[in-house]
């Protein structure tokens, strides 16, 4: 969304009040796209002043198969997953910048007091060192959960992730691996994050075999998918939409549960257009789908991809075969974004 907003500003779409009109411009651009797909429909662009980071969070139904639930926002569901892991796995350790006092987003609050300074501890401000330590700990048999304070800061650790963690099993001839490594990072735009607190770098890592990349849309998915990443036998990067940390609230099971990786979820069935997104954009696209139905009479099938690598090709292609059209939305820049991979595969 941030990249789209920048392009709209450069094109002077909103001349008087660009910031508050960004969402209206995006509303118009999606409408124009839908109009190209459905020429017989009518769409009238309109000015609509709304906050640039506006979206409506759509909570999922209360899950019943995992036992009792508790009202949690997204950061609390992450805390719950980490708490479950530390409680059940004596080899689990959590580390990163400021995690000992709870982290800047409070995802590790209370865990150091509960489990001790040897299992929840701070690291120096060195992302390469954080991931490198995690690789070594995982190879040594620990369940290593590393936190990168913001996804924007993950790039100093790029070599450690793509050349060490991802290739460790292959390089050793399957004698060793660091599959017990999970890397968490707050991800995506937040409305005021600027250049170091707004990026969505999932596509950088989608090119690299040997790791898995996951982005949840809400608290229920965050806990189940994070626990699946921790249990998976491959290094995983778990990007957490930071704008949803407090904005997204659901009834989340208190006991541990797993949501399968590499399985997209069809959130809304439709017949005219397949809409694919992940993270916060799932909720934006739900609004777009409702707008398309109301204004254009277009029935959208909305899919949450959930796992970026390896992604669920079968579910997406099956939907596109049914609808014949595909619209993909992500927060990252368009050029080289993961939408290009999805589009090329579908075509």
Provide the token pair at 133. 């330590």
Q: Which residues contact 335 (CB under 8 A, 6 or more apart)?
A: none
Which candidate in 127, 147, 250, 301 is catalytic? 127
Determine which one of 197, 265, 287, 341 is catalytic. Answer: 197
DSSP string, 125-155: S-HHHHHHHHHHHHHTT-EEEEE-SSGGG-G
147 is catalytic: no
Query: What distance in Å separates the CA atoms of residue 110 and residue 107, rounded to the nearest whole number?
Result: 9
Long-range contacts of 315-321 (CB under 8 A, 24+ apart): 315/263, 315/264, 315/266, 316/264, 316/274, 316/276, 316/342, 316/346, 317/345, 317/346, 319/266, 319/274, 320/274, 320/346
Q: Is 51 a catalytic residue?
A: no
Whole-angstrom Cα distance, residue 260 to residue 307?
A: 9
Residues forming the active site: 127, 197
């Amino acid at each position: 969304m941030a990249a789209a907003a920048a392009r709209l500003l450069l094109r002077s779409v909103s001349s008087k009040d660009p910031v508050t009109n960004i969402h209206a411009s995006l509303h118009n651009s999606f409408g124009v796209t839908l109009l190209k797909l459905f020429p017989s429909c009518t769409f009238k662009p309109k000015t609509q002043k709304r906050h640039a980071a506006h979206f409506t969070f759509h909570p999922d139904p209360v899950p019943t198969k995992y036992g009792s639930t508790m009202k949690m926002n997204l950061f609390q569901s992450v805390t719950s997953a980490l708490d479950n892991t530390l409680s059940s796995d004596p080899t689990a350790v959590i580390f990163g910048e400021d995690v000992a006092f709870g982290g800047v987003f409070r995802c590790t609050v209370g865990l150091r007091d509960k489990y001790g300074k040897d299992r929840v501890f701070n690291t120096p401000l060195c992302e390469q060192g954080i991931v490198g330590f995690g690789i070594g700990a995982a190879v040594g048999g620990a369940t290593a959960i590393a936190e990168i304070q913001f996804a924007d800061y993950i790039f100093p650790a790029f070599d450690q992730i793509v050349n060490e963690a991802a290739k460790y099993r292959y390089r050793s001839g399957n004698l060793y691996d660091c599959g017990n490594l999970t890397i968490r990072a707050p991800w995506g735009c937040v409305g005021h994050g600027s250049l170091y607190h707004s990026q969505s770098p999932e596509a950088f890592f989608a090119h690299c075999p040997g790791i898995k990349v996951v982005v949840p849309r809400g608290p229920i998915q965050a806990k189940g998918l994070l626990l699946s990443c921790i249990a998976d036998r491959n290094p995983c990067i778990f990007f957490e939409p930071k704008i949803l940390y407090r904005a997204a609230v659901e009834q989340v099971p208190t006991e541990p549960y797993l949501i399968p990786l590499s399985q997209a979820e069809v959130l809304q069935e439709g017949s005219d257009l397949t809409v694919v997104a992940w993270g916060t954009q799932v909720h934006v696209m739900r609004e777009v789908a409702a707008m398309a139905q109301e204004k254009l009479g277009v029935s959208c099938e909305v899919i949450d991809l959930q796992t970026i690598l390896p992604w669920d090709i079968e579910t997406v292609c099956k939907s596109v075969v049914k609808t014949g059209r595909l619209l993909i939305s992500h927060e990252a820049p368009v050029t080289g974004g993961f939408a290009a991979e999805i589009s090329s595969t579908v075509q």
